[in-house]
Structure 1
Amino acid sequence: MNSVEMMNELNTLLSGNNIKEQLTVPELVEKATSRGEAILTVDGALRANTGKYTGRSPKDKFMVEEASSKDHIDWGSVNRPISSEVFDALYTKVINYLKEKEEVFVFKGFAGADAETRLAIRVVNEYAWHNLFAHNLFIRPTEEEAANHIADFTIVSAPTFHANPAIDGTESETFIMVSLEKKIILIGGTEYAGEMKKSIFGIMNYLLPQQGILSMHCSANVGEKGDTTLFFGLSGTGKTTLSADANRKLVGDDEHGWSDNGVFNIEGGCYAKTINLSAEKEPEIYNAIRFGTVLENVVVDEETRIPDYDDETPTQNTRAAYPITNIDNIVLPSVAGHPNTIIFLTADAFGVLPPISKLTKEQAMYHFISGFTSKTPGTERGVVEPEPAFSTCFGSPFLPLPATVYAEMLGKKIDEHNVNVFLVNTGWTGGSFGTGTRMKLSYTRAMVNAAIEGKLNDVPTEKDAFFGLAIPTSIEGVPTELLNPRNAWADKDAYDIKATQLAGMFHENFKKFGEVAEDIATKGAPLV
């Protein structure tokens, strides 16, 4: 089936009497509750449960192997190939399935706050609450933009359609399939709404670099003087906490592009974790949950309708999806200038990385590709001691292209705009997990603020013997003995052993990038 035939099938669906296009938030809330998809909480948020799939299904994600893109894709465990024949057959089944539904919901909007490079997207949903999720997470059009909207990519989502692996060529009942040539994302068998958000991010990670734009899995904020800071970091490193600063305005919390004009948010909303959420710890997120917000898998009292954010019975991955305008301290439109500072966040449970260090361009490229943090006991079943976790470019599940493409673009932009890059360890000090202590948030904030304010650009440093990192010798508000991690350990020999161990893990992980990354490894890798 060619692209024209596929679009004709889609247009037949979209011309049906069951299509509900561009409904308002109140209309979608009414539909979701009346159809039994979700309930209202005491705050007016819409709570939906996603069944057995409470997170992404990476083993059920595929990309169609197509002549126009196959030579560019980094094929492997993340980008798994599937044939056009499998995709086309399943697509026809899903379209026919949706034609029989009483109601199907359509949202038209954009990905990318930069008007020159934004992607026009259309989202076709079986569920009203999924359509509200799309309304919240993507960029909402004006009336004029909606009237003249022509989709570059279309998501077709049918969560109650379950594939038959023996017939349909899938791994399970669930499938997330992307055809770059036909510009269709096909989702079925899962009610987890985050698949839509991340699928579009993957598309942007493919398209933007071809336009000379670096796509990034990071948050961004702006100071009063217009200075921009990017925060990269995996779950548990403090990215959300540190980027939410009362003295700085939020550009976006998760996905950005970096063009010749500066930084722009890819999304129009936030998809925040809510486990253990409180007004005291994260007031911005807590106060953003109101009418129109979508809560996923949050336990709610049946009588009072009060959410219990501490209850992780369904999952630890409870979420809130809301428009970025629910946050008070933001930049609108969600664009900013070129970054002055980049912060790489890691939670080193081995306790050997410095709490802050300034990186050379080559070290920045190396640590960007590595994307290191640690899994700690209790975070996942079976984890009994700290384990290294490496996620390429801090977002490996969403990168269609080879890692070096993104790293080389980062290095070029660091040079062009004279950006200062810092590695910040929010993990352990004075020992590994179990003996050492977690770095105090107040100390980390003091270090990050000093970096953003330019106070660490030209200060005396000492070189770390194991990783070759430049460590500031003093920072106001931070005990000097903490800055060099070896000094914080009572047993120096134990530190040396653990540091050598972690450095070896970095080297071993980097081998998978092969000879194309050899120059980056030579100039940016740990010394041992």
Structure 2
Amino acid sequence: MKTASFSSPLLDETLNKNNPHVNLSVSELTEHSLFKNEGTLSSTGALRVETGKYTGRSPADKFIVNEDSVKDKINWKTNQPISEKSFENLYTKVLNYLGEKKDLYVFKGFAGADQSSRLPIQVINEYAWHNLFAHQLFIRPNETELKEHEAEFTVISAPGFQADPEVDGTNSETFIIISFEKRTVLIGGTEYAGEIKKSIFTVMNYILPERNILSMHCSANVGKEGDVALFFGLSGTGKTTLSADAHRSLIGDDEHGWSMNGVFNIEGGCYAKCINLSKDKEPQIWDAIRFGTVLENVMMKEETREPDYDNTSLTENTRAAYPIDAIPNIAIPSVAGHPNTIIFLTADAFGVLPPISKLTKEQAMFHFLSGYTSKLAGTERGVTSPEATFSTCFGAPFLPLPAHRYAEMLGEKIMEHDVQVFLVNTGWSGGGYGVGERMKLSYTRAMIQAALNGELDRIETETDPIFGLHIPSHCPGVPAQVLQPKQTWENQESYDIKAKELATQFVKNFEKFTNVSKEIKQAGPNI
């Protein structure tokens, strides 16, 4: 993938007038961070940092520049425009601000493990730990690639600079702005490093479909026989946890492309949630948190400096950023063939969806377009308890193009490669949030293993009368009553009320999709 590079004299001047540190090693970036008091070392050797006021993404502060070359392609129903003038003024202000800093940190690398479609990027940071984050999350170049590197997209992150909404055209002091013509992402007013990662994902969600490559918000792994599985789902639904399987090789944990050759990872690292992390339940993630890892907003025990993963006093959205090779069982390189199985993950706060159900091709398209889950506390600013939400294609905040572009591409690939699709609820059972309990991870793993091994293909299913989902009558390693959510509720009349309430929300949400077939519309709940 090759695009013309964008030349910015002001950026060159800014980098030349101070002391840019280009592609420092993990050790050097850690030393700089400690010297500047940006963070502290935990007992594991990981660099522990706090992100201040913002401990999650700020979707209300994300913009795309309304430029002639893209304005007719962008889905403005889900993306906010900002004027070229506002972007240019902020661009100048941010670079003038960074020009006064003694040190700047530059990472040069790639997005996309498939060399035929990767995007050369550079990330310019005010903070050393942010550059360490970029080093671990994106694809790192070898010596030859670094010498020949020519960035085609630049991220400029200046957390210490705050916008003036009345002057700069933003909604607050915080801003994440993407200019596709200038091939630049401008970030200010927030220390949350996830904005760096997700801004490049948004860029790839524009670039890849334009080249007939499906971009996906999913994790992926591959079995010993070359069978590939995709795990779609929003933050907190279990993508990272469930794709880290000791018996399968990890391709990537969050962002992928699907080309005519197969699947490839967009990133070079993992950004795992740490809330209630334990060695017993998630040993691969636990062991990956060592020197070089960035721990965001994880509290530490004062005397031992051991990470306290159960402590949510800062936020429930605690994170660990580490390179993908910190996981022992990975696919090298991060590419594989076409998927055999797709898992749609949801964390149902109502507690009414079955823990696993098999989908027809039409149901798969309905649930992909619906993208139902619950926003979990801390993932976004202002979310303090789970809320039911529908995020188209399980990634609406990161999709610059209309949703039907991604859905049509996925539908075509499901049909072409005869992919089996399942809906898996990692949320609540026996009642909604506050009444029921979160589905046991061991049960979810057993169900997914059965799906990947083809064991559920030979098991009879029962059709849910409300949602129309095809529920297996039994599954190895899972109590039969767990498979039927209504049977886990003490008051089954209450279950019916909540199930119909959620089904109604599904149908109402789907009314906005006017250009889909009758068969897909009818694949939703029956109310």
Q: TM-score, normalised by structure 1?
A: 0.93
Q: Report 1:467-506 matches (<5 A).
A: 467-488=467-488, 492-506=492-506
- Secondary structure in structure 2 of the residue aligned to 1:449: helix
| CA shift digits 1:462-482 (9 cap, x unpaired) | 322212222223333334444
Shift of 1:302: 5.3
Q: CA deviation at 1:429?
A: 4.0
For structure 1, which runs of at least 5 residues remain unmatched after alignment?
Answer: none
In structure 2, the partner of 1:447 is 447
2-structure distance, mates of 1:37, 1:396: 32
Distance 1:383 1:94 in 2: 29
Q: 1:459 to 1:352 in 2, by over 3 A?
A: same
Distance (whole Å) between structure 2 residues aligned to residue 266 and residue 134 of structure 1: 13
Contact 1:486 1:495 in 2 (8 A): yes
Task: Provide, for residues 197-249 of structure 1, a one-character-per-residue CA deviation record: whole Å limited to 9, x for no partner.
Answer: 00000001111111111111111111111111111123443333322221111
1:263 counterpart SS class: strand
Pair 1:132 & 2:109 matched = no
Counterpart for residue 33 of structure 1: 34
Matched-pair contact (CA < 8 Å) for 1:276–1:310:
yes
Which residue of structure 1 lines up, in the alignment, with residue 160 of structure 2?
160
Mapped contact 1:426–1:439 kept (Cα < 8 A): yes
Equivalent residue, structure 2, for 1:20:
21
Task: Tell me the residue number matched to 2:395.
Answer: 395
Report the counterpart of residue 278 of structure 2 in structure 1.
278
Structure 2 counterpart SS, 1:311: coil
Tell me what 1:59 maps to. Answer: 60
Structure 1 residue 92 displacement after superposition: 1.0
Residue 348 of structure 1 is matched in structure 2 by 348
Shift in alpha-carbon separation, 1:5–1:471, aligned structure 2, 3 A:
closer
Letter in 2 for 1:526: P
- Deviation of 1:500 (Å): 2.1
Match of 2:414 in 1: 414
Q: Deviations over 1:285-326 (max 9, x none)?
A: 121111111112222345543322222222222211111111
CA distance in 2 between counterparts of 1:384 and 1:5 reads: 41
**Structure 2 match to 1:365:** 365
CA distance in 2, matches of 1:364, 1:53: 35
Q: CA deviation at 1:426?
A: 2.8
Which structure 2 residues correspond to residues 121-520 of structure 1 after superposition, within 5 A?
A: 121-301=121-301, 304-374=304-374, 387-433=387-433, 436-488=436-488, 492-513=492-513, 515-517=514-516, 519=518
Letter of the aligned partner of 1:119 in structure 2? Answer: L
Q: 1:75 aligns to what?
A: 76
Conserved? CA contact 2:18–2:99, under 8 Å: no
The answer to whether the aligner puts 1:524 opposite 2:523 as a matched pair is yes
Q: 2:465 & 2:502 partners in 1: Cα distance?
A: 13
Q: Per-residue deviation at 1:437? A: 4.9
- CA–CA distance in structure 2, aligned partners of residues 384 and 301 of structure 1: 24
Rounded to whole Å, the distance in 2 between the matches of 1:58 and 1:47 is: 25
- CA offset at residue 192 of structure 1? 1.2
Deviations 1:237-294 (A, max 9, x none): 3333322221111111111111111111111011111222222232211211111111
User: 1:178/1:435 Cα in 2 relative to 1: closer, same or farther (>3 Å)?
Assistant: closer
Deviation at 1:376, TM superposition (A): 8.1
> 2:55·2:378 contact (CA, 8 Å) conserved in 1?
no
- Asked whether the 8 Å contact 1:139–1:267 carries over to 2, the reply is yes
Structure-1 separation of matches of 2:378 and 2:155: 36
Q: 1:377 to 1:401 in 2, by over 3 A?
A: closer
1-structure distance, mates of 2:106, 2:383: 42
**Over aligned residue pairs, what C-alpha RMSD do you find?**
2.5
Aligned counterparts of 2:20 and 2:493: Cα–Cα separation in 1: 68
Residues 89-137 of structure 1, C-alpha deviations (whole Å, 9 max, x = no match): 1101111221221111111000011110001001111111111111010
- The structural deviation recorded for 1:72 is 1.1
Q: 1:381 to 1:126 in 2, by over 3 A?
A: closer
**How far off its partner does 1:371 sit?**
1.2
Shift in Å, 1:173:
1.5
The one-letter amino acid paired with 2:516 is A
Moved more, 11-20 or 321-330: 11-20
3-state DSSP of counterpart to 1:524 = coil
Higher mean C-alpha displacement, 355-364 vs 472-481: 472-481
- Cα distance in 1 between the residues matched to 2:300 and 2:517: 52
Asked if 1:118 corresponds to 2:118, the answer is yes
Secondary structure of 1:367's match?
helix
Counterparts of 1:195 and 1:263 in 2: how far apart (Å)? 24
CA distance in 1, matches of 2:426, 2:139: 32
Q: Which shows bigger deviation, 478-487 or 371-380?
A: 371-380
The 1:254–1:381 alpha-carbon spacing in structure 2 relative to 1, beyond 3 Å, is closer
Classify 1:503/1:31 alpha carbon distance in 2 versus 1 (closer, same or farther; 3 Å). Answer: same
Aligned-pair distance for 1:435? 5.5
Q: Check whether the contact 1:365–1:520 (CA below 8 A) recurs between aligned residues.
A: no
Q: Deviations over 1:388-433 (max 9, x none)?
A: 2222211121111111111111110100111000112233445545
Mean CA deviation greater in 245-254 or 164-173: 164-173
CA distance in 2 between counterparts of 1:96 and 1:375 reads 37
Pick closer, same or farther for the CA change 1:179–1:519 going to 2, 3 Å: farther
Q: Contact 2:251 / 2:265 at 8 angstroms: preserved in 1?
A: yes
- Structure 2 distance, partners of 1:434, 1:196, is 34
Instruction: Please give the per-residue CA displacement for 1:504-527, whole angstroms capped at 9, x wherever unaligned.
Output: 1101112233x1235464242212
Partner of 1:42: 43
Q: Report the CA distance between 1:13 and its aligned residue.
A: 2.3
What is the alpha-carbon distance in structure 1 between the residues aligned to residue 276 and residue 432 of structure 2? 25
Match for 2:149: what amino acid? H
Please give the alpha-carbon distance, in whole angstroms, between the structure 1 residues aligned to 2:345 and 2:478: 18
| Whole-angstrom distance in 2 between the partners of 1:410 and 1:213 | 10
- Aligned residue identity for 1:126: E
- The 8 Å contact of residues 392 and 403 in structure 1, kept in 2 or not, is answered as yes
Asked if the contact 2:236–2:376 (Cα under 8 Å) also holds between the matched residues in 1, the reply is: no
Which amino acid in 1 is paired with 2:34? T
Q: Secondary structure at the match of 1:205?
A: helix
**For the structure 1 residues 330 and 508, does the alpha-carbon distance in structure 2 shift closer, same or farther, using more than 3 Å as the test?**
same
Distance, in Å, in 1 between the alignment partners of 2:315 and 2:477 is 38
